[in-house]
Structure 1
């Protein structure tokens, strides 16, 4: 019998309704999600942005390669065309030591032979082979590359090339922008230095710009600094330029070039003379300035302590430019100005007399340097004998108001406005009669060396006071426009007759054996006007002045020729620690040779000239044609090589040069070493650049000897040592 199946019960209506609701919710959610997705795609398509990011711009960045076009910082030149400061590069050496570094062909990009690498590098870095091995074999195996500390930084191009020629696997270099100062110790505080804006990023900042932090480099930083450009090109994922891609270029704008009034020949001579005194007598400080009396142009200027701008050695000893940033009591050289005021105001009677030795004012006794004095003497002996007492009497004759009027006329207590940073104004005390009297012989008044030069110019220049000038012209290399800095007269504090009178008195200082204090500065055949000075130095602990034979600021100012001064030379020396000779003998060892040299320049008209010519393009010309072309513009050719055709030239076409400057021409024949006797250091550096030889120098000045004989064949592997000596 067939069994009857149980009857299926129908679904609960409530359950069915719940399922329908859930289904509707799911469907609605799915529809909303897809709706949002569609809307999102639509929004992206229309706006081209995601979360505020422009997709098109981001894509362009991914497929655009941008290169910085480095702007060149302006070059600084001496008045005779020698380079003082120019852009360069230095290098940091590093070694890759991780063995996973190989190129696409499997060639090692890491150090493969530690012993050989250490041995070669020890020849060029100030590290021993064992020290280098320690760098190349660190304890951690995870290190990818290593550097070599300070010894591996700031490597010059010549050293970098020598190391690169050894072809050591795993040894690489990183270039850094740098400033080259080829003359080393050369008006270092005046020229200053330029360095990366953020020295902490020095090792990675290859596109950073240099910033002047001292001297001319700082004062004219905005002019010298260029503006980097850029170049954009479209690339594929692998960095290759896409065909027919548009290259966008914004050219770099190079910084302005500057020409100073400094003559490099005179400057090098001054540096050599001052260093000789520094080494022998060890003064705590020295300043020296040589100026054109007619224009105010500074022809040479230096200080001690100083530093070598190319190595920065010695910079820690003195950061200030003491020529403009240090104020001091000048001592008896101030009598040149006070005597000028007395004569100009009509209070000078040369034949009237006074009792020398001592005078009392406001209860204070002022004495001559010769305590016993010289008895009763005429006022025309005040300047030659450098009598403090006589000058006090003359100041009293003028009176407070008149003397202060002349101090203001000479711009005492005011900045000169020279184009150097950090200049101070100086000051003087004038409340009491004793203070007023003290200022007349250089105490109770603080001045800068540059202030004194400005005031001295009135005496040397017929009463016309000239502002000291350090910059001659600025040239924009992008536009070719040149701004010239003209001589600037800042006043006429005295008449021409007064100036002539004071010069005659200064002649007596150096020529009169009986009463003159400046006999040590005589130069045979030269008409000189001189004034010496010996200023007391205030005790830093208070309570008056220092005592002792060497605790003075010794000084001398000279003007030549006295009949119509063209040059003013002012030298100060503070507290020589080894005073084994009289102060005037020490200062004369700088004064006499430098003044002799500048006067000889003046006779030939070669000092501080600013007439320039443009370097012609003589490349591909015959040597005969090139010589003729250079002769036509007044340049001196130096032919390098045995060929008959010029293939390279330095300076480059269009470079502004001074007439008579040397141009180096490389021919198509074998390169032959020229006879460089008489060449400047800058000319020899041109030779090194155009031939690729390695040059080292001993001494300073001009070439007198060379290690490779003239007419010897030279190559990029050649090393030449050149001995320099001041003329």
Structure 2
């Protein structure tokens, strides 16, 4: 090799060595830079490495908050959360001690949950054949009660898995359901969310705030000391309604009676405090059971606020009041009844022949359309429309509810204007009718109806929302209101002896009947045929000083139709009104089976032995719970106006389950609330059996199931 070639080769080697050296240097430089960045920022590629490392071992435990309770005005629970259980069976035999005995498991399960043997067996076989880890059993296997859980556990079922869950519990079943509403689990958040009624309208108050515990585990899954941080769960607020469960029960009974007798398309009613606007009870048929969802597909809307309809002659109350206020009504003035001509159209009274020439008062008793159109002409068309607006029609009441209907006043053509005077060509909601009525019974001052009494913070007890008596506007004068009541007082058993079916023994009752044609929504116009009507009554009692207003409506009866024509809604109205007045002890009843308020003393703090003489003369059954010597609680509460069959006393000793045979459904609610135990009731009427034997020690973890029968009072 020549010197020149050797020299050239050596030069190439030096260049190569230099490149290698530079490459190694660059590599270490990058490492140094990356290390410096890592040590300085604790991040790499915009990712926080410390957070990444902590997250790998960070664990979170959620403490789910309870949704707030909905209670009535007396604190009786109408909606609450309830612990339930979901059943599943492991079908992967790798996780079982021995091969799965499908036949035995199927028989054991079908004996306890509401599935037949074949359904259970098919479900389990499907899981085995498709290599599923476990199988569930649909709705039949979910929301199981504590007693069902115990029964499943006691059966020692192979592969059984029971998962604790939570659902919304409505202890009364079908009970003011469309008002209270419904809450269901959101599939994404697994939280209960209000879907309708109070549950939806007050969802922001009812929903709670979950608590959580954040902690760190090491490689061996041990909790790192002092690594946990916790935030408490805050249960949802308690929403107290103006509803009284006793009056609501009276109303539900009357609705059932009307529904059974007439089999109508719909029937609904509301009871309101005439002085304050508080809704004491409201219900409708068809309705639904929020606990089972039965009937929900037929009854989604709340008629009280969301359904507008032509009211018929009950609306004449407001035209009468307007005419009196305007000085255009003298009860002794006369009007020709039978018909009234508007342009080329003749509008008849319900009896086209009329009753001749009558005084205004007599024509009002006969519910003459001709009278109302005459009064509207005397007041003035535009002036009468102002009165209707002042009474709240054609606009919402700005209630607590979503999607409240406003109704419509058709006022374009003269025929429509005249028709409004007798309750056609106008649509109203029941709550508008109730609101308008408050003006008449409160010296002309209209008050806003309301259903929520208060919302209370579950932790502090602070009232965060308070429903209250609200004056809307002065609609008519005090004198006009008094004169309107005077005229209305003659509508039941007045000089014409009409509407006697609405009379009640021991109480004075009055009000206005109504019979309205029903709009044919498919073909336009009105429905034709016998008894194709909406029948109603806006009543109040006692007439001297009205305490309650009851609005009762029946739509399209299919059975006993002539009764609807002859007697209207008196069957339902008289039932709920009489029972409500007796319950409220409205100071007119000559004989009442309900206890006076002074009879219920406060026994708390007294010695139990000293009460025996007090109890000896009481007609109701007295039940002492606990083996202590001092009274710590009682039902009914002191000062309570109540008709009751049982008197419960709780002592400071160990509490044991009493014999509940013959206890009413209403008293069971109160007892469970007082003892702070979970209660499940099946049936209606009085307790015939109980899941926990009398004498068994009970505590706050106790879950009681009772069966009721209507003929079991003893």
> Match of 2:221?
239
> Match of 1:630?
none
> Match of 1:220?
202
> Match of 2:40?
46
1:499 maps onto 2:474 in alignment = no
Question: Is the Cα–Cα contact under 8 Å of residues 639 and 666 in structure 1 kept in the other structure?
Answer: no
> Match of 1:33?
27
> Match of 2:659?
673
Residue 659 to residue 723, structure 1, CA distance change in 2 (3 Å): same
> Match of 2:111?
123
What is the RMSD of the two structures over their aligned residues, measured on CA atoms? 3.7
Q: Would you say how many aligned residue pairs link Structure 1 and Structure 2? A: 683
> Match of 2:66?
72
Note the alpha carbon deviations across 1:185-224, whole angstroms, 9 max, x for none.
1111111112233x3x4xxx5xx33221211111111122
Separation in 1, partners of 2:87, 2:540: 53
> Match of 2:120?
132
> Match of 1:191?
180
Question: Is the Cα–Cα contact under 8 Å of residues 106 and 121 in structure 2 kept in the other structure?
Answer: yes
Deviation at residue 167 of structure 1 after TM alignment: 3.1
- Output aligned runs, 1:707-718, within 5 Å: none
Residue 670 to residue 726, structure 1, CA distance change in 2 (3 Å): closer
Deviation at residue 169 of structure 1 after TM alignment: 3.3
Deviation at residue 151 of structure 1 after TM alignment: 2.2
- Output aligned runs, 1:327-726, within 5 Å: 327-482=308-463, 483-512=465-494, 515-583=496-564, 585=567, 587-603=569-585, 639-640=624-625, 643-644=627-628, 667-668=653-654, 671-674=657-660, 677-678=663-664, 679-683=666-670, 685-686=672-673, 690=677, 696-699=681-684, 703=686, 705-706=688-689, 720-723=706-709
TM-score by length of 2: 0.87
Deviation at residue 329 of structure 1 after TM alignment: 0.7
Separation in 1, partners of 2:57, 2:670: 47
Structure 2 unaligned residues grouped into runs of 5+ = 588-593, 613-620
Residue 585 to residue 475, structure 1, CA distance change in 2 (3 Å): same
Separation in 2, partners of 1:406, 1:555: 22
Deviation at residue 175 of structure 1 after TM alignment: 3.6
Deviation at residue 662 of structure 1 after TM alignment: 6.2
> Match of 1:632?
none
Q: Comparing 562-571 with 148-157, which one deviates more in the overlay?
A: 148-157
TM-score by length of 1: 0.85
What secondary structure sits across from 1:427 in the alignment? coil
> Match of 2:87?
93
1:160 maps onto 2:149 in alignment = yes
Question: Is the Cα–Cα contact under 8 Å of residues 672 and 714 in structure 1 kept in the other structure?
Answer: no
1:144 maps onto 2:133 in alignment = yes
Residue 714 to residue 269, structure 1, CA distance change in 2 (3 Å): farther
Residue 220 to residue 275, structure 1, CA distance change in 2 (3 Å): same
What secondary structure sits across from 2:406 in the alignment? coil
Question: Is the Cα–Cα contact under 8 Å of residues 460 and 559 in structure 1 kept in the other structure?
Answer: no
Separation in 1, partners of 2:161, 2:245: 37
What secondary structure sits across from 1:302 in the alignment? strand
What secondary structure sits across from 2:288 in the alignment? coil
Question: Is the Cα–Cα contact under 8 Å of residues 655 and 697 in structure 2 kept in the other structure?
Answer: no
Separation in 1, partners of 2:655, 2:504: 50
Question: Is the Cα–Cα contact under 8 Å of residues 233 and 248 in structure 1 kept in the other structure?
Answer: yes
Question: Is the Cα–Cα contact under 8 Å of residues 660 and 687 in structure 2 kept in the other structure?
Answer: no
Deviation at residue 559 of structure 1 after TM alignment: 0.6
> Match of 1:323?
304
Residue 658 to residue 162, structure 1, CA distance change in 2 (3 Å): farther
Question: Is the Cα–Cα contact under 8 Å of residues 458 and 494 in structure 1 kept in the other structure?
Answer: yes
Question: Is the Cα–Cα contact under 8 Å of residues 657 and 692 in structure 2 kept in the other structure?
Answer: no
What secondary structure sits across from 2:528 in the alignment? coil
Question: Is the Cα–Cα contact under 8 Å of residues 445 and 473 in structure 2 kept in the other structure?
Answer: yes
Structure 1 unaligned residues grouped into runs of 5+ = 1-6, 103-107, 628-635
Question: Is the Cα–Cα contact under 8 Å of residues 259 and 473 in structure 1 kept in the other structure?
Answer: yes
Separation in 2, partners of 1:677, 1:472: 29
Question: Is the Cα–Cα contact under 8 Å of residues 75 and 258 in structure 1 kept in the other structure?
Answer: yes
Question: Is the Cα–Cα contact under 8 Å of residues 335 and 391 in structure 1 kept in the other structure?
Answer: yes
Note the alpha carbon deviations across 1:121-156, whole angstroms, 9 max, x for none.
112322212221121122635221111123223333
Deviation at residue 16 of structure 1 after TM alignment: 3.9
Note the alpha carbon deviations across 1:351-381, whole angstroms, 9 max, x for none.
2222211111111111011121111222111
Note the alpha carbon deviations across 1:46-100, whole angstroms, 9 max, x for none.
2211222222222222333221222222111101211011122443322211122
> Match of 1:179?
168
Separation in 2, partners of 1:111, 1:638: 53
